[in-house]
Amino acid sequence: MKLSSISIIFFFATLQALSVLQVNSQSTDSCNSNLNLDLPFDTSLLNCLPVWSRHDFILRYVRNLSNVWNFVLSAPDTNSFVAMGFSTTGQMVGSSAVVGWVSADGSGTVKQYFLGGQRPNLVLADQGNLTIVENSTSITSRSSRVYLAFQLNTSQPLSRVLYSVGQIGVIPSAPAFALAEHRDKVSTLLNYRTGTSASDSQHSRLRKSHGILNMLSWGILMIIGAMAGRYFKQWDPMWFYSHAAIQSCAFLLGLAGIISGFVLEDRLNAEVDTHKALGILILVLGCLQVMAVFARPGKESKVRKYWNWYHHNGGRIVILIAIANVFYGIHLGEDNGTSWNAAYAVVISILFLLSIILEVKLWRQN
């Protein structure tokens, strides 16, 4: 009797384990699985790769015709939206995304959104820069997974690809189809030729180093060095040595920051032409300032006043462009760059107020 009870318990436990395994097997997808989906394009030749292991996102894609790309994104069905975005910088702001969800009645909806900013009213439905082939979008729920499919008409999709998943139980609704804040997101770099995808977080340390170096050098130390050269000449010759030392340190750190920017651009394949052009301009002007030091005429020279005018105004131009580019770089580099913007704005405001006080003092002395 005792053995029989144990056998019955073991039998039901085995059935339960098998049912769990069956559910798990049904809710998983892999690149070895066959897609039995009713899609307007052939799925037999799709390249396949896992793109977001945390949420078990699997992407399939292929270039169909000369300018048509087929995409199928597979993800667990959590009664929320799934999204795949394309970005020039790797950030959500400024990107266009294909977003899909399955309603409670089983009907699927796919829309393009343009992410114009971080506020909900700046996330615009039925807008974006993607040329989606007409009648090519669909989203299907099958075996506890959703399959978001679409076709893009483009010669080459952007390699900076974003994925996001919405809050559980929260999906957009008519008529506005407002998109609620995502539950999680990831930025990746997709190589369409080799079929490999890497998380953008791998380069976060390099991005932060680039930003901090340039902010500290061109955006802060350069200002402090200029203030030392203008407002502390009563302590001769210490003002000159302090000015030269601070500006030299700022130039070297800034050079390292710009070099790291070139490396970052190469690794991320980012399109940051304006930011890059401003950085190169700052570097060129900085080099001219350094070269001018070696060509500085003596105090008794007749051209000394022209040299002073060039050196002083050239430095001011470098500082103004550097401040603008630091703010622009923060905008490009961080989705949550508000805190960085606020912190740098506070530093600049303090230096500005201090320079006004010293300028008034200098004016009274003269």
Q: Residues, the chain, total?
A: 366
Residues whose CB falls within 8 Å of the CB of residue 87, separated by 6 or more in sequence, listed in order: 94, 95, 158, 160, 161, 162, 187
Burial class (CB in 10 A: 0-12, 13-18, 19+), 123: buried
Q: Is 243 marked as binding a ligand?
A: yes
Preceding amide of 175 cis, omega within 30 = yes
The closest alpha carbon to 177, from 97, 86, 106, belongs to: 97
Q: Is 182 marked as binding a ligand?
A: no
Q: How far apart are CA 73 and CA 87, in angstroms?
A: 17
The closest alpha carbon to 322, from 366, 365, 286, belongs to: 286
Eight-class DSSP state of 30 = -
The closest alpha carbon to 72, from 97, 46, 96, 50, belongs to: 46
Q: What angle do CA 40, 43, 45 make, to 5 degrees?
A: 135
- Burial code (b: 16+ CB inside 10 Å, e: under 16) for 239-274 equals beebbeebbebbbebbbebbebbeebbeebebebee
Count of CB atoms situated within 10 Å of the CB of 201: 11
Q: Please give the full DSSP string across 219-278, using - where no structure is assigned.
A: IIIHHHHHHHHHH-TTSTTHHHHHHHHHHHHHHHHHHHHHHHHHHHHHHHT---HHHHHH
Q: Is 210 marked as binding a ligand?
A: yes
Eight-class DSSP state of 206 = H
Annotated binding site: 210, 243, 275, 311
Annotated binding site for heme b: 210, 243, 275, 311
